[in-house]
Amino acid sequence: MVDPPRAESPRGDLLRRWVLANALGELVGLGGVALLAAALVPPLQRALPGTVAARLATALLMMALGALEGWVVGSAQARALAPGPIDRSAWVRATVLGAVLAWAVGMVPSTVLALRHVPGGAAPGGPPPGLRLALAAGLGLVAGPILAAVQVRVLRPHVSRPAGWWLVACALGWALGMPCVFAAVHLLVRNGVRPWSLVGAAVALGGAGALVGLVEGLFLVRLLGPRGAARTAPEI
């Protein structure tokens, strides 16, 4: 007699939904940011050529586009969390705010380097690929917890373990995912918007979201624990 297939566990189902939500969310969210930046940044820099205002306006624009990414990803994550006790609207708002803050921090290095560049001089060469990926991982380690710090306020009342572990989850997840994001951007910048480079960038962005989602999801299913469980340890 053939045994009936086992139903997927609640934890496994949440993990699957979370990975898929992050992969699709970052593909659409970061992909949308990349396309809008490609359309909006060049006219902005032509309107304010070589000025401090152009650099600062570009940074502000990218922060605003980061809000779009946060809304897309936060909405996808909120759907993955349902059904459950977490307020979906609060989660989306927290993700939008966290994304803006993370983009603000992420824009600091490139903005400072651009402001230090002497107009009319040779543009500084980029770092070698290995160093670029290492810097991307470092940026993920910093930006991930910034995003998580806002989300953790929504998550804390519903977890059965210290909510501070969510900061660790996002730090590790984005340390793996950010190099994929940098690779996607580098591919588009170096080769232009061509069909094959768009496909490669889409794969890299979706892969970044999946990596982040996998690491975060493994922590998330342990944090939430059995539905309705009370917290059993002090916060960290």
Q: Residue for token digits 């909405």?
A: 75
Q: Looking at residue 110, what is its pLDDT? A: 62
Residue 69: predicted pLDDT: 95
What is residue 99's predicted lDDT score, i.e. its pLDDT? 95
Place of tokens 């002497």: 118
Q: What is the pLDDT of residue 2?
A: 46
| pLDDT (0 to 100) of residue 91 | 97
pLDDT of 34: 87
Query: What is the per-residue pLDDT for 235?
Result: 39
Ranges of the chain whose pLDDT falls below 50: 1-7, 118-124, 227-236
How confident is the model over 88-122, as pLDDT tens digits? 999 999 999 999 999 988 877 665 555 555 444 44
Q: Which of 174, 154, 162 is nearest to 216 (CA)?
A: 174
Are 100 and 67 within 8 A, CB to CB?
A: yes
Q: What is the pTM of this model?
A: 0.82
pLDDT computed for residue 12 by the predictor: 82
Q: Give the integer Cα–Cα distance in Å for 24 and 205.
A: 9
CB contact at 8 A, 186 and 144: no
